[in-house]
Amino acid sequence: MQELGLIGLRIQRMPSEPNLEFGIPSQYSYMTVCAPSCHDCSTLRAWWEEDEGRRSRFYKTVVGSDEEPPSRCTPEVVHFIVQQHFDAPSMWAIFPLQDLLALKDKYTTRPAPEETINDPTNPKHYWRFRVHVTLESLLNDKDIQATIKDLVTSSGRSFPGKKAEGADESGEKLSKVQLNGKA
């Protein structure tokens, strides 16, 4: 695809490298779009809560913790994963609204599987997702706006070509979110 000038989609839990279980967003090429989930797979929260084995391996290999991961996909877990995607060198980082809403407990009251937009393996499950919060409530929620704004600005994505604050000399971002004491 790169030879044709086409960008590729990278979903961390569906890596394009055959020897990896999880993609490494910091190693994605510029000619990619990275996302923690998409319309044709479960949301970040649903994946985390439905697959205990992969959740544990992710926590060990990606987060770098030998502790048991939380069974619930907490806002801290979501922030850690979303931040990896914002900080990736991919041309675009895109996020389903459900994954961004999971940055705040208030928006995670519905069962996570209900947030899946489309399940291509099930002909009866098609594009039925409806957002469970009003636009007005999101416009009035300054906390989630500030969280998302911080993710965008700290990654340097709001000012292309400008080295992000907190980056080392090579331009690599230094993780700011700690999960289980691990950066």
Compute the Cα dihedral for 127, 132, 134, 137 and give only its sign: negative
Q: What is the pLDDT of residues 103-147, one digit of tens each?
A: 999 999 999 999 988 888 888 767 778 899 999 999 999 999 999
Taking alpha carbons only, the member of 100, 125, 130 closest to residue 115 is 130
The confidence score (pLDDT) of residue 129 equals 82
- Distances in Å between the alpha carbon of 108 and those of 105, 115, 160? 5, 10, 32
Radius of gyration from C-alpha coordinates of the chain: 16
The confidence score (pLDDT) of residue 171 equals 45
Token digits for 5?
């000038």
Please state, as a whole number, how many other Cβ atoms lie within 10 Å of the Cβ of residue 63: 17
The confidence band for 25, taking pLDDT boundaries of 50, 70 and 90, is very high
Q: What is the pLDDT of residues 80-98, one digit of tens each?
A: 999 999 999 999 999 999 9
In angstroms, the CA 45 to CA 125 distance is: 18
In angstroms, the CA 88 to CA 30 distance is: 9
Residue 47, classified by CB atoms within 10 Å of its CB into exposed (0-12), middle (13-18) or buried (19+), is: buried
Q: Taking CA 47 as the corner, what is the angle to CA 44 and CA 48, rounded to the nearest 5 degrees?
A: 85
Residue 57: its H or E element = helix 52-58
Token digits for 163?
């080295």
The confidence score (pLDDT) of residue 122 equals 81
In angstroms, the CA 183 to CA 174 distance is: 8
In this predicted structure, the answer to whether residue 18 has a pLDDT above a threshold of 80 is yes
